[in-house]
């Protein structure tokens, strides 16, 4: 007697749901990891941009007797763009300098530079973003804390005035949104929080620089971004290793060597 053929058994609804559930769980585990890997890859490209800018800056210093380039892009008022390193460093690079970071999510780039064209301000003269990167204002001839008190040129605007070039920040990532998104320099001397508020230094600094450009988490001491140093070295570093207070940080050349947090 010939036995009847039995066709392949179909999956039950429960089995299908179990498989779908397993796939969802695996995706939930894998996707954050893949996003993190992608951010690290973009950070490497951002560091490459900073290295290129730093090399051009070293060439500029060689020609200008160790004087640093300066800044000039505004953050809410009029500035002097022709003085900015965004313009003055261009002749000192064999290749076009990349001033837009792959980590940059700012909507304020002008349309002619491939951006969304959203103005930063609401005044009669619209301000747009021209660079993802800024320069440590302690190194500026015109916007350093000493220059504000004693006049242009009073600050550490030359290599000879920086005791520790290998541990003093030079270039950094400017915040993607807010008034400082149009600028090429922060004001590091303002990063100490108001004692009457609940804010901390990372939160205050995050209104000027993108301290979390890699991890994108809430600004904290462990937030990571890309930075360059006066000697041309570039590195992705946690904010807490660069700034503790206005009297313990790696921005002010007068004290950068005394900060307790070590660097690799």
Q: What is the mean pLDDT of the chain?
A: 89
Cα 29 to Cα 113, 147, 217: the distances in Å are: 37, 51, 18
Residue whose entry in the numeric block shows the structure tokens 């000697």: 231
Count of beta carbons in the 10 Å neighbourhood of residue 121: 17
Q: Say whether pLDDT at 2 is over 60.
A: no
Q: Establish if 139 belongs to a structural domain.
A: yes
- For residues 128 and 25, the model is more confident at 128
Q: Using one digit for the tens of pLDDT, what is the confidence trace for 194-214?
A: 887 878 999 999 999 999 999
Q: Establish if 2 belongs to a structural domain.
A: no
Instruction: Give the per-residue SS3 of the chain.
Output: CCCCCCCCCCCCHHHHHHHHHHHHHHHHHHHHHHHHHHHHHHHHHHHHHHHHHHHHHHHHHHHCCCECCECCCCCCCCCCHHHEHHHHCHHHCCCCCCCCCCCCCCCCCCHHHCCCCCCCCCCCCCCCCCCCEEECHHHCCCCCHHHHHHCCCCCCCEHHHCCCHHHCEEEEEECCCCHHHHCCCCCHHHCCCCCCCCCCHHHHHCCCECCCCCCCCCCCCCCEEEEEECCCCEEEEEHHHCEEECCEECCCCCCHHHCCCCCC
Q: Say whether pLDDT at 21 is over 90.
A: no
List CB contacts of 55: < 8 A, sequence separation 6 or more: 93, 232
Q: Establish if 44 belongs to a structural domain.
A: yes
Q: Identify the weakest region by mean pLDDT among 5-19, 190-204, 215-229.
A: 5-19
List CB contacts of 211: < 8 A, sequence separation 6 or more: 202, 205, 219, 223, 225, 239
Q: Establish if 163 belongs to a structural domain.
A: yes
Q: Using one digit for the tens of pLDDT, what is the confidence trace for 88-123?
A: 999 999 999 999 999 999 999 999 999 999 999 887
Q: Establish if 134 belongs to a structural domain.
A: yes
Q: Using one digit for the tens of pLDDT, what is the confidence trace for 165-187?
A: 999 999 999 999 999 999 999 99
The pTM assigned to this predicted structure is: 0.84
Tokens of 29: 């585990």
Tell me which residue range forms the domain holding 122. Answer: 16-258
Cα 30 to Cα 24, 25, 27, 37, 137: the distances in Å are: 10, 9, 5, 11, 41
How many domains is the chain built from? 1
Q: Establish if 11 belongs to a structural domain.
A: no
Q: Establish if 6 belongs to a structural domain.
A: no
Q: Establish if 8 belongs to a structural domain.
A: no
């Amino acid at each position: 007697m010939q036995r009847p053929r039995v066709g392949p058994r179909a999956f039950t609804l429960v089995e299908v749901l179990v498989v779908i559930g397993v796939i969802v769980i695996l995706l939930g585990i894998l996707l954050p990891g893949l996003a993190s890997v992608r951010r690290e890859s973009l950070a490497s490209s951002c560091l490459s941009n900073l290295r290129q800018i730093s090399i051009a800056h070293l060439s500029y210093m060689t020609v200008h007797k160790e004087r640093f380039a300066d800044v000039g892009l505004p953050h809410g008022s009029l500035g002097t763009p022709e003085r900015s390193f965004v313009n003055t460093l261009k002749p000192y690079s064999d290749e076009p300098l990349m001033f837009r970071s792959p980590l940059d999510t700012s909507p304020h780039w002008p349309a002619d530079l491939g951006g969304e064209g959203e103005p930063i301000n609401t005044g009669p003269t619209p301000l747009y973003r021209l660079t993802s990167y800024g320069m440590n204002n302690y190194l500026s001839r015109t916007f350093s804390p000493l220059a504000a008190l004693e006049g242009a040129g009073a600050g550490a605007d030359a290599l000879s005035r920086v005791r520790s070039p290998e541990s003093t920040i030079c270039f950094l990532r400017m915040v993607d949104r807010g008034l400082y998104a149009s600028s090429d320099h922060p004001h590091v001397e303002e990063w100490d929080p108001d004692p009457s508020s609940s804010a901390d230094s990372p939160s205050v600094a995050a209104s000027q620089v993108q301290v979390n450009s890699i991890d994108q988490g809430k600004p904290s001491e462990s937030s990571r971004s890309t930075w360059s140093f006066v000697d041309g070295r570039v590195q992705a570093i946690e904010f807490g290793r660069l700034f503790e207070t206005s009297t313990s940080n790696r921005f002010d050349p007068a004290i950068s060597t005394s900060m307790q947090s070590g660097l690799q």
